[in-house]
Each structure stands twice: as C-alpha cells, then as structure tokens.
Amino acid sequence: MTEATLKTLLEGITPPDEAARAAAHAHWASLAKPLGGLGALETTLESAAALTGSAALDLSKRAVLVLCADNGVVAQGVSQTDQSVTRTVAENLAARRTSVCQMARTARCEVVPVDMGMAGEPVPGVRNCRVASGTTDFTQGPAMRREQAVEAVAKGIALVREQKAQGVTLLATGEMGIGNTTTSSAVAAVLLGQPVECMTGRGAGLSDEGLARKINAIQRGIAVNQPDPDDALDVLAKLGGFDIAGLCGVFLGGALEGVPVLMDGFISGVAALCAVRLCPAATKAVFASHCSSEPAARLVLEALGKAPLITAGLHLGEGTGAVAAIPLWDMALAVYRNCYSFADGGLTPYTPQGGAGC
C-alpha cells in the first residue's frame, strides 16, 4: 500500500453513529436500576454501539493481537535483556504458555501472536507479517524508512480485516518487543511535546543507571532525526517500532471495519495516539482498558480523551491489561441484555433530575 492509498482509505472512516449510541442509551435507561448506575460500563457499550452502528451488540468472538518486533536501539543498553528475549516470548506465545494466554483463556479470547519484525528466522505458530528483521538503532538514524512505516500500518489494518472475516467482533491489542518502551517514550515525547525525562520509565525494571542511558538514547535519537511532531508517520518512521506501527494500523482497521479495539497500556496507547493523529475520526474505535504504571501512560490517555476501566498498576505487556478488561465488558453486556426493565417489574422509571453533583 502506498502512502497516498492509505490516505485515501482513511478518508473513508466515518463519524460514530449517534442514533445507535442514543438507542443503546435509551435501552440502559429502560432497565430497572439507577440511571447510569454502571457508569463507564454503560458508556463503553454505548460507544461500541456508535462504532458498530447497532445497539444490538454481539461481542461474543474476541481475539488479542500480540504484535512482536525487535528494536535496534537495544544496542544502547536501554533494557535489562537482549533482543533474543523477544523471540523466546514469541515462541511461548505460540505455545500458549505466557501470561496473556492464561488470562485470555479465562476471558474466552483467542491469542494471535504476530511477527511484525523480529530478528532471526520466523517462529512457527506466529503469524508472519514481518516488515524487516527488526528496526535499526534510531540513535544513528531513522528506525525505519517511511515506506516501511506505511507497510506496517497497512499490515495492521489487514489483520483487523482478517479477524473480522473470521467472525471476531472485539479485539484487544498487545505487543512484545525488547526495547519498545524506549521507542514508545520517544514517539510520545515528540507527539505530545513533552520533555523526554517526563515520558520515560524503567520499563521491565531498569536501574537508575539504565534509566539514564535510556533517556540519553531517546534524546540523541530525537536530536539526530529531527522528527516532525505534526507528521505522525514521520515520528513513527524515525523513532518507532514495527509493533507500534502495526498496532496503529489495528486501531485504524477497527475504525474502518467497525470493530472495537481495546487499547492495552502505554505502548498500544502510543500506537492509538499515532492512529488518531493520522485520522482523528479513528478515535471511535479506541477503547481504554487500564492505566499502565509507566510514567507517561496517563498523559497519553488524557491526550486521547479516554478513561481507563482498570487502575491496578499493571505493566506486564502482551495485552494483559486489555484482556483483563474483557470480563468487565461481559458483565456489562449481561446486564444490558438480561436485566429486567421498569415495565417488566411494574415500576415507575427513573427520570433525570438534573442539578449539581455533590
């Protein structure tokens, strides 16, 4: 896909269906419970209705896309481990042994590991969408070519279309890639115009010395590449990773195909931010799951205008936070579909009273 084709495609993303949102809201109001009593669980389903165009929600088939990629910046000592760990975890994802696999089993969610650009040979059982065998070290120049960023975004969109064709109606996002909190912090710092120190955390547990190296590497990468904060593709190409670019495409694909996409933590949040910068209308497909303990996670959520369902200090990755939110969607749907109405119970419905809150 060329950049021009991508731009034309994104112009087809329509605004949310406000009639469907209103219908879902009216249905909630008809149920025998306090108005808005389930808070964000209600508005989440209303937003899902606005995305899908129907208040009759079916979210029974779900999958978590775990995008795996390696990042050349690990050469700068920005992580505790080397990039061989990316491959090891991908192998265990394929064997359904990792943390997200155990959680997904409970949430009745399929795990789909995807190779967006890992070093070495393809891993059996991992969907091969690789753009290249990892990015280059962004302290020495762009992490990838602009055309590669477009390719990765396009492959993310194609993944959503593939999943929808298989009947999937709810997607969660995940990632695995040593060094990807470094790439995410770099991209977020530029897009949000924030100091690198404010946007950079310890990732999987860096020491003070390691954190200092990480911050320095990001500062050097920004200085060397001079990314344009008004051009999300430029920022992605110069500082990002294939996993982030692919996830950006997943959010865009959700908006194009009417499939809700659950954002995981900081890394997929940065990908969602890139998607919304590329196409503001894509925000309708982005659903926050939790607020990561990474320092910049809340800033990214605020920039997206999204509120998390869970605040539990999660920072594992793999899509664990997004999958953890799925049972909350299920419980909301159970009430939405099965709770008796005021009419069924012979009760007088609540009516909005207005007035200031406490």
Q: Please indicate whether residue 318 is annotated as part of the active site.
A: yes
> CB of 196 within 8 A of CB of 222?
yes
**Distance (Å, rounded) from C-alpha 337 to C-alpha 19?**
19
Strand order in the sheet with 170-176: 127-128, 109-117, 62-69, 170-176, 261-263, 286-288
The DSSP code sequence of 186-250 is HHHHHHHT--HHHH---TTT--HHHHHHHHHHHHHHHHHH---TT-HHHHHHHH--HHHHHHHHH
Residues 162 and 80: their CA atoms lie apart, in Å, by 35
Which residue in 42, 46, 175, 318 is the catalytic one?
318
User: Alpha-carbon distance 310 to 70, whole Å?
Assistant: 29
Alpha-carbon distance 123 to 88, whole Å?
9
DSSP state letter for 261? E
Q: Hey, what are 188's tokens?
A: 């977020």
**Sign of the alpha-carbon torsion through 93, 96, 101, 105:** positive
Exposure class string for 287-312: b at 16+ Cβ within 10 A, else e: bbbbbbbbebbbbbbebbebebbeee
Catalytic residue numbers read 318
